[in-house]
Structure 1
């Protein structure tokens, strides 16, 4: 599991649609579907009910959503903390710092 799985999960949950989540993330809908399927396999739980045109969270999806949001927020905090600390190893020529790797 990596941050891409979590950010895709949150996007689908918030958008209520795989296609709108794909637009939001600027990736193909098939990539969104594959990422969610991989996350569901990793967790051993179905996160979305896909039986209607509107995608709905399952009980497991509802239980997981707050933790996914918290994990993404923690990573954002980590990035800010690291940026504030300085000691840039590979800074672009314009002086901005590179972001952290998106996967663990």
Structure 2
């Protein structure tokens, strides 16, 4: 009997481009297995598919080697933040306060 296949999407957004790949994997595949099956690493040399942080539909998955994928899942590969959002907000608020002070 033929193995049942399901379709999942794998997406990655680099600084300069993004890619979405639809891949068919056997039912019961893990998230990491589907990621490796997508061959998305061939398009982005900087990706370490064995260790990169990933999620499904915007929710980070802590154990991608154990998490099973389901038909229609959107696997997202996350890259490190260039700047801490809290630090950026703090600097912006300090700059605005300084501008208000000069304006008085």
Quick check: which one's strand share is greater?
Answer: 2
Q: What TM-score range do you get, normalising by the shorter chain?
A: under 0.3
TM-score, length of structure 2 as denominator length: 0.25
Task: Please tell me whether Structure 1 or Structure 2 has the larger radius of gyration of its CA atoms.
Answer: 2
Quick check: which one's helix share is greater?
Answer: 1
